[in-house]
């Protein structure tokens, strides 16, 4: 082994890059996008304004925001041939597998995005297109899962309202999109928009570092996010809460299972690689849960189970010693469900929220002209062996 390498499996203590985009303080539970506290952005901003902030580095002026929204509006349509890809999936195939494939398929329609040395304008066109079109892809995945006709984007709507209309709208009649739902969706998407070098973002950066195009890089990020240890946790949390509810709501029994090293069960939505304190996003979502469910007149029994689980876990030495707190995925599914989304769409919604962060980080990696990502290893395999003919094995 020439030279030496520092082994850090899972990159627990490795800095992969320098970034100006998102700041986390795991000990204090602090999250900031371009220096702005997540609490202020969640309360005062909109998802598209936060997308602009993450991608271009500054809060937009009114004129810049209007142009950004207009650019997005004029790229929301998918090429009609994209429908053939949608039709190819079995009706119950997981939305994340569809989304990853469909976003990669978009590259077939925009060959200009395949150029590795794009001009700034060409790169920005690719950014606008993937951000605009993924919302349409997500809503059409949902419509196809119901066997319903897809709803086309409408230029009169802003990005989030357009997404909700394509998702919950009907071909046969105009559907009023509830402002409470629009506001809740903006907040959830803002809270998911970026999170420094998490598993899926690191995947987007490393795929992009080979000069692969933005669609392939985002598609890879979607695949990484799918796992239940990462974005897939929001679906796993609701499935866990349902399981506990159906099992009589005995939270002590499930906390004991989560602590039992011989039991593979983990308390989904709990713990975090960086946060060793409350995930600030979980705090905001927990508060929003009560507010939104009350406004929508919904009483969801699993919310009470979630609150009880949190309360018991936060007093249990096993969780306290390991600094395991609720993360962004612990309460988000409860709101998604209240907004009308089925459980298997939750991680796709995480991906839609994370998209501006992936784009911003991909753009920064290219602006920094970072080298192709290629880590080393500690080799522990066989040293030197002579080939053995088949008849002698
Ligand atoms: C996201 O990185 C990001 O920023 C991700 C994310 C983002 O915005 O991009 O924040 C989004 O992915 C949030 C995390 C969602 N995942 C889950 O909720 C799944 C459940 N959580 C865990 O699997 C775990 O906590 C991770 C994956 C989140 C973090 O894992 P680490 O940092 O590798 O920690 P670990 O698995 O080594 O756990 C440390 C200890 C272990 O016990 P010991 O070996 O020390 O005895 O804590 C235990 C673990 O067994 N542990 C848990 C637990 N999480 C950790 N025990 C029970 N239940 C849990 N949830």
Q: What ipTM does this complex have?
A: 0.97
Q: What is the mean pLDDT, run by run of 10 residues, along the chain of 393 residues? A: 82 97 97 98 98 98 98 98 96 96 97 90 97 98 96 97 97 92 97 98 98 97 97 96 95 95 96 95 95 94 94 94 95 95 97 98 97 95 96 97
Print the SS3 string covering 50-86: HHHHHHHCCCCCHHHHHHHHHHHHCCCCCCCCHHHHH
Is the Cβ–Cβ distance between 131 and 160 less than 8 Å? no
pLDDT tens digits along 152-173: 999 999 999 999 999 999 999 9
Residue identifier of the C-alpha nearest atom 30 of ligand 1: 273
pLDDT tens digits along 52-61: 999 999 999 9
The reply to whether the predicted model has a pTM over 0.90 is yes
272 in catalytic set = yes
Residue identifier of the C-alpha nearest atom 33 of ligand 1: 273
| Percent of the chain that is helix, strand, coil (3-state, to 5) | 55, 5, 40
Is the Cβ–Cβ distance between 126 and 112 less than 8 Å? yes
Q: Which of 272, 279, 300, 344 is catalytic?
A: 272
Sheet containing 36-37: order of strands: 22-25, 30-33, 36-37
**Distance (Å, rounded) from C-alpha 115 to C-alpha 102?**
20
Ligand 1 binding residues, C-beta < 6 A: 195, 198-199, 229-231, 233, 258, 266-274, 322, 324, 327-329
Mention every residue, 6+ apart, whose C-beta is less than 8 A from residue 280: 29, 30, 31, 38, 39
Residue 24 CA, closest ligand 1 atom number: 4
Is the Cβ–Cβ distance between 373 and 362 less than 8 Å? no
74 in catalytic set = no
Residue 327 Cα, ligand 1 centroid: separation in angstroms? Answer: 9
């Amino acid at each position: 082994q020439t030279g030496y390498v520092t082994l850090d499996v899972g990159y627990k203590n490795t800095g992969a890059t320098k970034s100006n985009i998102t700041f986390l303080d795991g000990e204090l539970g602090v999250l900031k996008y371009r220096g702005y506290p997540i609490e202020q952005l969640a309360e005062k901003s909109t998802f598209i304004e936060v997308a602009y902030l993450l991608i271009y580095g500054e809060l937009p002026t009114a004129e810049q925001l209007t142009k950004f929204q207009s650019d997005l509006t004029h790229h929301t349509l998918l090429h009609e041939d994209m429908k053939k890809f949608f039709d190819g999936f079995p009706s119950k195939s997981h939305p994340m597998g569809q989304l990853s494939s469909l976003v990669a398929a978009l590259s077939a329609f925009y060959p200009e995005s395949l150029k590795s040395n794009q001009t700034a304008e060409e790169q920005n066109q690719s950014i606008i297109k993937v951000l605009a079109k993924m919302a349409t892809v997500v809503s059409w995945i949902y419509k196809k899962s119901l066997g319903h006709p897809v709803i086309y984007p409408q230029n009169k709507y802003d990005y989030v309202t357009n997404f909700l209309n394509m998702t919950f709208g009907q071909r046969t009649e105009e559907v009023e999109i509830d402002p409470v739902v629009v506001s809740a969706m903006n907040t959830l998407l803002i809270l998911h928009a970026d999170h420094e070098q998490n598993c899926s973002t690191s995947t987007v950066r490393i795929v992009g570092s080979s000069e692969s195009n933005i669609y392939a890089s985002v598609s890879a990020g979607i695949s990484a996010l799918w796992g239940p240890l990462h974005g897939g946790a929001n679906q796993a949390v609701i499935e866990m809460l349902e399981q506990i509810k159906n099992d009589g709501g005995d939270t002590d029994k499930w906390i004991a299972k989560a602590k039992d090293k011989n039991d593979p069960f983990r308390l989904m939505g709990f713990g975090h690689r960086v946060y060793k304190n409350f995930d600030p996003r979980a705090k905001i979502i927990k508060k929003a849960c009560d507010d939104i469910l009350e406004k929508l007149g919904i009483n969801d029994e699993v919310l009470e189970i979630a609150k009880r689980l949190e309360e018991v876990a936060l007093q249990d030495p096993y969780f306290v010693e390991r600094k395991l707190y609720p993360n962004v995925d612990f309460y988000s599914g409860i709101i998604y469900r209240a907004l009308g989304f089925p459980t298997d769409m939750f991680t796709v919604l995480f991906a839609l929220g994370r998209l501006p962060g992936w784009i911003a980080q991909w753009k920064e990696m290219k602006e920094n002209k970072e080298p192709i990502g290629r880590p080393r290893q500690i080799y522990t395999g066989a040293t030197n062996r002579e080939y053995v003919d088949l008849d002698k094995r």
